DNA sequence: AGTCAGGCAACGC
DNA sequence: GCGTTGCCTGAC
């Protein structure tokens, strides 16, 4: 199946963007590297929609198949400029400046909240490769199936599908003790015990986080990840072991827990979560 | 074989 | 409050 270049349309953006770094930055786990019509790129489902194919050439130009330019741009956060993101960062922060220089092309993507929350519930005490494996297994067993370029792709399973599957079937996807949390979350969403649309519409970070914390298996870290990557809360600052290392070793912070969280949110400001993404990638590659 | 990994909840003090 | 412990699994 040949892919004439004419089928590809450009996805415009302002500032820096690295598709590869963004897909490897620990926020999206299910995209696959494929070759389509002789062009190397990545493909994956965007929310409940069909898979999209995205490619970035050596000069940085991003292309996708018509008519996907709009939804691809929104998904990868290409509809805001990287300069506007950084304008809200602290002025005198050499560590952050170095992290940005190291991986300036990372964007915070916009995933659907349920998919994002569920994926991070399964992420507890797991490495990226494991999180990816669990996501792909859950998708292939319980998610809607699509075909593209001779490959199969699966949307993330709906809360209803995971609630109906039962905890034991989720455990068989390699989730271990996380199966209980994921199943309870699927039940809570599908029965309306928690309203994710309301969480998404809640402008207050603290109030949105409070709603997510009511779920079993969701603590500060996972709640902040879900809000940052799945609800546009750029003020959410997830602290995992890598960020804790950076704050301790490079920022010389000696406090932990809620105190550290409060310091970080104040220091990094309204786009703290975006700063966290640069720092996280920087820490993982260099510490 | 043992350790460890991008947490959380339940418990003890 | 604050520190400990158990929890499933796969990779080294």
Prior bond to A67 cis, omega within 30? yes
pLDDT of residue A3 exceeding 70: no
A250, two tokens? 């490079």
pLDDT of residue A1 exceeding 90: no
Contact at 8 Å (CB) between A77 and A25?
no
**A127-137 per-position pLDDT tens digit:** 898 999 999 99
Instruction: Name the phi and psi angles at A211, rounded to 5.
Output: -65, -40
Say how far A176 CA is from C7 C1', in Å: 8
In this complex, which residue's CA is closest to the C1' atom of nucleotide B7?
Answer: A124
Residue with tokens 């991986």: A103
Q: Give which of A158, A122, A117, A120 is closest to A139, Cα–Cα.
A: A158
Residue with tokens 């500060």: A220
Q: Give which of A37, A40, A42 is closest to A6, Cα–Cα.
A: A37
Look at residue A151 and give its three-state secondary structure.
Answer: strand
Q: What pLDDT score does A25 carry?
A: 92
Hey, where are the domains in chain A?
A: 2-80, 113-230
pLDDT of residue A259 exceeding 70: yes
Average pLDDT in chain A: 94
A287, two tokens? 């510490």
DSSP string computed for A5-72: GGGEEE---SS---HHHHHTSSS----EEEEETTEEEEEEE-TTS-EEEEEE-TT--EEEETT-HHHH
Q: What pLDDT score does A284 carry?
A: 87
CATH pick for A113-230 out of 3.40.50.10680, 3.40.50.300, 3.30.420.10, 1.10.340.30: 1.10.340.30
Q: d(Cα A113, Cα A230) in Å, to the nearest integer?
A: 4
Say how far A62 CA is from C4 C1', in Å: 50
In this complex, which residue's CA is closest to the C1' atom of nucleotide C7?
Answer: A177
Q: What pLDDT score does A2 carry?
A: 53
Say how far A125 CA is from B12 C1', in Å: 23
Q: Say if residue A258 is exposed, middle or buried (CB neighbours under 10 Å; 0-12, 13-18, 19+).
A: exposed
Q: What pLDDT score does A250 carry?
A: 93
Contact at 8 Å (CB) between A119 and A133?
no
**A76-92 per-position pLDDT tens digit:** 999 999 999 999 999 99
């Amino acid at each position: 199946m040949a892919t004439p270049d004419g089928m590809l349309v450009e996805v415009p953006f302002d500032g820096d963007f690295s598709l590869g770094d963004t897909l490897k930055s620990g926020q999206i786990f299910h995209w696959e590297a494929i070759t389509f019509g002789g062009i190397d790129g990545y493909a994956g489902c965007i929310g409940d929609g069909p898979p999209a194919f995205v490619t970035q050439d050596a000069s940085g130009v991003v292309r996708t198949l018509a008519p996907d330019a709009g939804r691809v741009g929104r998904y990868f956060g290409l509809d805001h400029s990287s300069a506007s993101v950084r304008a809200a960062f602290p002025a005198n922060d050499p560590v952050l400046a170095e992290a940005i220089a190291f991986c300036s092309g990372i964007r915070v993507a916009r995933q659907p909240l349920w998919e994002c929350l569920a994926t991070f519930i399964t992420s507890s005490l797991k490495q990226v490769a494991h999180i990816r494996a669990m996501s792909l297994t859950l998708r292939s067993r319980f998610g809607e199936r699509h075909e593209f370029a001779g490959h199969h792709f699966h949307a993330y399973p709906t809360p209803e599908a995971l609630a109906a599957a039962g905890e034991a079937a989720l455990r068989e996807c390699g989730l271990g003790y996380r199966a209980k949390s994921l199943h309870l979350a699927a039940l809570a969403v599908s029965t309306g015990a928690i309203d994710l649309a309301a969480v998404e519409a809640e402008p207050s970070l603290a109030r949105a986080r409070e709603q997510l914390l009511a779920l079993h298996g969701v603590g500060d870290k996972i709640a902040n990840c879900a809000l940052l990557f799945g609800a546009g809360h750029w003020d959410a600052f997830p602290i995992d072991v890598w960020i804790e290392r950076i704050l301790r070793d490079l920022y010389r912070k000696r406090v932990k827990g809620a105190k550290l969280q409060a310091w970080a949110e104040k220091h990094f400001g309204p786009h703290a979560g975006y700063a966290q993404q640069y720092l996280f990638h920087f820490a993982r590659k260099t510490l």
